[in-house]
Structure 1
C-alpha cells in the first residue's frame, strides 16, 4: 500500500528508509516532465514545466493552452522590478493550475551576441539588470509555492554546437559578466532549483564541473537548492554526481540507473555520493509538499480578467519608444484621424514569443491589426490592411483556417502501428479509399504537431503511421502558397490531389530542433474565400526513428500557408494605403522561426524585402509609425528616414492591445533598451568569435573579456544605433540635487537625487545609476550599471529617488587573489537616462581597500 509523507517530513529520516536501488532510481527523471516516485516510502512524482514566458505544462503536442507573457528581453526592458514580481506570481498561479511544482525558469544567460538563438529568453546584456529582474521574477513565482529553476548555468550563449562547444572564458569575465547574474539572483532570491547548461566551460562540461557546481555554487555562494541537467545535457555518470549534479533529466536514465550501480561496484562512486544528491531531491520535494500543489493533478488553464489586465500591462510596458522626432505619437483620439493603414508582415499574425522550448499554445492572442482596429473603432476611424512583404522563414501556421468535420477548430490526428493501407504513403494514393481502424486518435487545435509527447504510449508504438486530416477554409480569394515540414516522410494532399511530396528522399532542415525536413512549398491556385478544402497529410516516421534521436518522439508535422503575393505589387499596394491614410502603422520584424532554440541567427538583417517595404512606405508617408518586433537587435538601414519608431519585442497574448495602448496614448511608453542595438554586426564586441568562428574546432574564445554589450562599445568608442538603457517618453524629465552618503568600510553607500516631470503627460522614468572607477589598478569598463529606479510622475511633479548600493558597485574580480577587490579611492557616480545620456555627476570615496568572496 503506498504511503503518504507528512508535509513537513524529515529529509534524513526518509533518506534512511531508502535502499540503494530506490536512491539510484531518484537520480533521474520519469519521462519528460516528472521525477521518479517511490510509493512504498511515500515519495510522489514531482512535475516540471517549461518557461520562461509561460507555463506550457507537460505536453508540446495538444497541451493545455497557457498565458504567454512578453519575451524576457521585453520584460528586462521595462526595468520594472514590481512588474517582474507580478509576472512571477501570475506564472506561479498558472503553474499551480497545471499541477506543476517546478517551473524551468528564468533564463539569465548574458546576451554576448545579438545573434544568439535564445537571446530573447534572457533579460539583458548587463549582469546587474539581468540578475535583478530575475530575482524579482523568482520571488514572485516562489511566493506561490512553485520552485524556480534558474538557468542555464553558465556561459550558454550560442546554439551552434551547444552540447559540445567549449566556452573558453577568462576567470575575470566569467565572474563579472557570466556568473554575476546568477550570483545576484541567488543573493536577492533563493531559487530552489538550478539547471546546468549543455556546453563546456574551459574544456569541461558544466554538468560535471566540480569547480562550478561545488566550489563556487555550493561552497563559495552557499547555494542549498537542487541542481538538474538540461534535457539530455548530461554526459557522464561518476563525474557528474561527484561534481554535484543531482538530477538527470529527462528519463529514462542514460547516464544514471544501471550505470550508477556499476560505478558503485567499481568504487568510482560511494554511497555518500548518492546520498548527497538524493538529499537535495528530497529537499525540493519538501518544497513541493509545502506548496499544496497536488501530485499527478489534471492540468487546467487560467484565464481571468485580472490576468488579462496584467498581460496587457506587461505588453505595453515592454515597448520602447526609440524615435518620435515629429511628435506623431501618441495618435490623436479627437476624431482628427479618419483612416489608419496597418501594414506589414507582423501585423496580422500575433508574434507572441520566440521559438523552441519557450514557445507555447496561447490561451488567446491579439495581433497588432486586431488591437489597432479595436482602438480605431473607439475613435470612429477606418482601418485598411496590406501585408506589404512576407518575412516568414516558415509560412504562418494554418491554425485560424482549419476545421474538423464537425466544424470545430483544428484537425484530427490518427495513428496506426502498421501501414493502414498498402499505398498509404504513395504519391498517387487513393485518398478516398477507407483505411483500417486506427489504434488511437485525437483532435488537435493547430497545424504544428511535435509528437514527442501527448500521445497514448500504451497504444501507439514509437514506429507508427500517422494521418492529419482537416478542412481548410481560406479567408481570401486567390492563389495560396502552402508549406510543409515534417519529422519523418510523408505527403500532403488537398481535395485528394498530391500537393507536396516529402516521401521521396526528403532533405533535412532546421525544423523540430533540427530533426525535421526542409520546408517544401507549393502554390495552390484559384482558392475561394469561405470555401472548404479537404487537407490530408500522411506520414510514416520510420526514417526519422532510424536516424536516432536523443529522446522518444513519434515525428512531427508543421503545415503553413499564406496568400501568394507578388512582391512588387504588395509593396505598391502598401505604399498606396500609406499615402491615402491619415496615419500609417507599419509592423515589421522577426518571429519565432528566425529567433529560436536550436540555431543562431546568421546576421542582423530583417528578412525578405522588409527594408524595401519600409523605404517605400516612408516615401508615401514620412510620418509612418514603424514598429519592430524582435527579441534581439536588427539592422535598420532606413533609420534616418523614419521619424517614429517603436521596439515591441515579442509581446505575449496581449501584444496587439499593448501596442495600441501605446500608439493611442493610453499608456505612456517607459521602456528602456536592455541591450545595445548596433549599427552593424561587425561593431558587436563578440563579432570575431561567435558561433562557428572559433579558431580551434569545438571551442569558442570569449576574446572580448569583460567588454560585453555596452561595455565594449564604450571602451572602443563605437557609437551604436541605440544605446543600452535608451528609451523615450511622451513627456520629459529633469534631474537635480545629487547627493551621496559616505562609503562604509563594507562598501555600502546611498545615492539620492530628484527627478521632475517637465512635460505634459504623466509618465514613468527609469533613472539609472552607473559607477566609474578611473583609478583602478586593472582596466575597467568606462562605467557600469549598478542600480536603477523606476519612478511615476504627474506633470510638474518631483520625487526624490534613493538608490542603495553595496560592495558589488565598487568591486572588480582579481583572479590572482581569487577574490573580489574594492580598492580605496574615488569613484564617479553617474545618474543617467541611458548609458550615453548622463544627467548628474558626483563621487564617493572608499577610504580603505578590502577583498571579499561569496554572495
Structure 2
C-alpha cells in the first residue's frame, strides 16, 4: 500500500466521494479509491480469534479462550502475547482490523455476551484489554475496542436506553475504555447498539466527542456496530466516522442531500472522512494486501501458546482433601454432556471454525493412555446437537453434502450451481455468495445416519427461509408451513421445530433437508442481518432422565474416580439473547448430586462463560472452572485434572449463590424502552462486599496445587505514582504461579458512599518450589484513590489515608498484607 497524504486526498475528493468513504461497501470491507492510493480495508471478528470474511463455511482459525477465560489468567504479559498471535492470524486472513477486544461489564450472569468480556472489574478489563491491544497492534493490525458503552445486555439491545448516573458510567462502565486509551491507544472504537440516558451511543456527542476525543485525547476511528447507525446527520455531527456494514443505509444519497440542504456542513463531513483516511493510512503499516487471500496458520507454536493460555485461564474453585490432581493409573469414569463435545467458544461474533478442537474426553483419554468408560448422564442442550457431526457420506466421510439450485425440488431437471461438503449443519448465510444465484434459491443438505442402538431420535430445524427434514423420504420436521419466531441467528430465524422418528441399529438412514432461501420466509421480521437466510439442523437420541442418572450412579460405584463434564454451550451463551435462569439446564444438578453421593472421588468440570448456581457445591470435593477454552479446551482440562499443569487462574467474575443475590436482579431486562442501572457503582464484588452478601466464590479466587506466602510489603507514593512491592514465596512442593492483587480502601468517610475496596492493579509470577521473588505494581495515584465527582464533573482524590491490601482474591484472608499511603490535599482531575 502506498503512503497516503490525507489532506491532499481530501482536496481531490468530491463531496459525494467523501460521503462514500463514511460507510462500508459490504459486510467486511471499506470503500477504496485506487486512483488516489486509498485501498479498501478488511475488518474481521472477533474477540477470541480471527474468523475472516465468512460466517458460512469459513476458513479455519485459531480460537482463543473466551473473554472471561482470558481475564482469568490475570497475566498481562501473556495477554499481550495472545494479542500478537491474533494480529498474525489477522494477517493470515488478509484482515487489517480485528473487531475486538470486548470490555463491557457483566452486570448479570444472564447477559448473552457476558462470556465475551474480560471481567466485572474495570481495572481487570481495562488493563487486560490494553495488553491484548498492544499485542495486536505490534503486528500493524489495528484493534477495535468495543462496545462503547453500556452494551451489557442483549434484550432489546438495539433500542434500549441505559439509565445510569454519571458516577457509575465513569467509575465502572467507561473506565476500562479510558484505561485502554491511556495504555495502548487502540486504532478504533465501536459504538454500542443501545443508548445512554436518552441518546443512542452512535449519535451521542457527549460520549464520542466530548469524552472520548476531547477529554481523553484519543485519536482514531469510530465505527458503528453492525446496523447500529440510526440517523443521517446526528451520527455525523456526534463523531461517528464509519457506518458498518455496507451498502449504506444512511450515508449515500440521503447524506448528500442533507449536505446540500445544509443540515450538515461540509467541514463536518470532511472531519469524518479525514478520520477514515487517517485510519486507512495507519492500517497500511501492516503490509496486508488489499482483498488478499485467506489462509490458515495452524502451527505447533500456535497450539503451544493456546494451550498455555488455556491452562492459565482454568480456575481451581475447590479441592477438598487434595482430590486433584487425579491419578492416571486409577479406574476412571467420565460423565456429562460436555465431555464428548468441544465446547470451545460462545455464540455470535465470537463463533468461528477452529483449526481443530479437542474434547475433554479425548484430552482425558490421552492422559490415561486408553479410552475411559463414559456415559452422558443428562442432557443440557438448548437446541438439538448439530446433526452434521453425527452423519456421514456414502464414502464414510464425516459431515453432510450441500447442493445449491436455482430451481425447486419439484423440478426434476434442475442442476446444482454449487456443491460443498460441510462438517457442521449450521449455516448463517449472511455472507454466502455465488454469482449464479437468483434471489430465491434452493438447497439440499444430505447425509447418512447410523445409530448405536434401537432408539427414538428427535430432529430439530431452525431456519430463516423455509426447510423440511426427511428421513428415508418421510417428512419428520416441517418448518415451512407454520413458522414461529425464535432468537437464533441474531433473532432472524424461527424457533426450533422438532419431530421424532424411531430408528434401528444396523440400518442406514438417509437424512435430507430441503431448504429455500430467505425470500421464502413466511415471517417478515424487521431485522437487517438476514442475507440469504440461515439453517440449523440437529438431532439427538431421546433419553429418560431418571434412567440416565441411575445408570451413571451404577457406573460411578464401579470406578475409582469420576469426572463430570458439565456446563453450557454457545446456544445458551450467545449474542442476540440473554439467559432466563442462572440454573444449569435439564437434570444436570440432580446428576451431579447423585453421582457424588455414589462416589466421593468425584471432580466436576464446569464449562461456562459466566457463573451458574451450584446447589451441589457442598456435596462434591473438587470443582474447576474451565470456561470456553478455545482449540485446546480438552487438553487444558486434562492437564489440570491430572497435574501436568498447575492451576493458576483467578475468577474474573464473582460467583454468586443464586440469581436473586445479583445486584442487577431487579433491573436487568428492558422495561418501557429502558434499563435502570439501579445498583449504581455497586456492581460485582463491590456490591457483595458492601451488602455483606455471601457468594459461592469471590472475584479473584483461585486455588493451586502448591501454596504461597506474601511478605515484606512496601508501599510508597511519590511524584503522583503509587508503587507497591511484595515478596511472594512458593511454600509448597511443586512449581506454580500466584497473582498479587492490589486493592485500595479509603480509611475515612468520603463526600459520597464508596465501595469497601477496589482492585487497582495485579501481577502474576511463576515460582519453583521454595523460590521467592519480589513483585512490584505501579499505578498513578490519581487512579487508585479517585471517585467521580458529579458536582464538578471531574475525578476527585480526597485528602486522607488509603489502605493498600495485597491479597490472592477479593476476599481478604489472613494471608493478605496491608499497608497505606496518604494524600495531603484534595484535588480534582480529568483526562487520562
- The structure 1 residue matched to 2:673, chosen from 666, 682, 698, is 698
1: distance between equivalents of 2:453 and 2:768?
47
Residue 523 of structure 1 deviates from its aligned partner by: 2.8
Residue 111, structure 1, aligned to residue 106, structure 2: yes
Query: Do 1:109 and 1:156's aligned partners in 2 also have CA atoms closer than 8 Å?
Result: yes
Residue 604, structure 1, aligned to residue 577, structure 2: no
2: distance between equivalents of 1:219 and 1:609?
54
1: distance between equivalents of 2:257 and 2:681?
43
Question: What is the match of residue 24 of structure 1?
Answer: 19
Worse-superposed segment, 119-128 or 472-481: 472-481
Alignment of 1:434-449 (within 5 A): 434-449=412-427
Worse-superposed segment, 545-554 or 813-822: 545-554
1: distance between equivalents of 2:209 and 2:731?
52
Residue 127, structure 1, aligned to residue 122, structure 2: yes
Residue 644, structure 1, aligned to residue 622, structure 2: yes
1: distance between equivalents of 2:4 and 2:244?
25
- What RMSD over aligned residues (CA atoms) do the two structures have, in Å? 1.6
Change (3 A) 1:782 1:317: same
Question: What is the match of residue 756 of structure 2?
Answer: 782
Residue 367, structure 1, aligned to residue 359, structure 2: yes
Residue 529 of structure 1 deviates from its aligned partner by: 5.9
- The structure 1 residue matched to 2:695, chosen from 717, 720, 723, is 720
Residue 808, structure 1, aligned to residue 796, structure 2: no
Change (3 A) 1:90 1:473: farther
Residue 474 of structure 1 deviates from its aligned partner by: 4.4
2: distance between equivalents of 1:462 and 1:102?
31
Change (3 A) 1:490 1:749: closer
Worse-superposed segment, 495-504 or 189-198: 495-504
Alignment of 1:328-477 (within 5 A): 328-333=323-328, 335=329, 337=330, 339-377=331-369, 383-405=372-394, 407-421=396-410, 434-456=412-434, 458-474=435-451
Residue 849 of structure 1 deviates from its aligned partner by: 2.0
2: distance between equivalents of 1:356 and 1:507?
21
- The structure 1 residue matched to 2:768, chosen from 785, 794, 801, is 794
Structure 1 alignment gaps of length 5 or more:
423-433
Question: What is the match of residue 807 of structure 2?
Answer: 832
Alignment of 1:34-113 (within 5 A): 34-113=29-108
2: distance between equivalents of 1:545 and 1:532?
30
Structure 2 alignment gaps of length 5 or more:
none
Residue 550, structure 1, aligned to residue 528, structure 2: yes
Residue 766, structure 1, aligned to residue 739, structure 2: yes
2: distance between equivalents of 1:488 and 1:155?
33
Residue 479 of structure 1 deviates from its aligned partner by: 3.3
Residue 742 of structure 1 deviates from its aligned partner by: 3.4
1: distance between equivalents of 2:373 and 2:409?
48
1: distance between equivalents of 2:459 and 2:523?
28
Worse-superposed segment, 698-707 or 403-412: 403-412
Residue 743 of structure 1 deviates from its aligned partner by: 4.1
- The structure 2 residue matched to 1:817, chosen from 792, 798, 805, is 792
Alpha-carbon displacement from aligned partner over 1:496-555 (angstroms, at most 9, x marks no partner): 111111122122222211221221222332343684634333335334287153145112
Query: Do 1:770 and 1:783's aligned partners in 2 also have CA atoms closer than 8 Å?
Result: yes
Query: Do 2:103 and 2:145's aligned partners in 1 also have CA atoms closer than 8 Å?
Result: yes
Q: TM-score normalised to the size of structure 1?
A: 0.95
Change (3 A) 1:552 1:637: closer
2: distance between equivalents of 1:286 and 1:353?
33
1: distance between equivalents of 2:431 and 2:371?
45
2:337 partner SS: coil
Change (3 A) 1:787 1:367: same
Residue 564 of structure 1 deviates from its aligned partner by: 2.6
Question: What is the match of residue 736 of structure 1?
Answer: 711
Alpha-carbon displacement from aligned partner over 1:57-79 (angstroms, at most 9, x marks no partner): 10111110111111000110110
Worse-superposed segment, 32-41 or 292-301: 32-41
Worse-superposed segment, 123-132 or 501-510: 501-510
Question: What is the match of residue 597 of structure 2?
Answer: 619
Change (3 A) 1:435 1:627: farther
Residue 302 of structure 1 deviates from its aligned partner by: 1.5
Alpha-carbon displacement from aligned partner over 1:787-835 (angstroms, at most 9, x marks no partner): 1110111111111111112120011110111111111110001111111
1: distance between equivalents of 2:440 and 2:508?
36
Q: TM-score normalised to the size of structure 2?
A: 0.97
Change (3 A) 1:186 1:545: farther
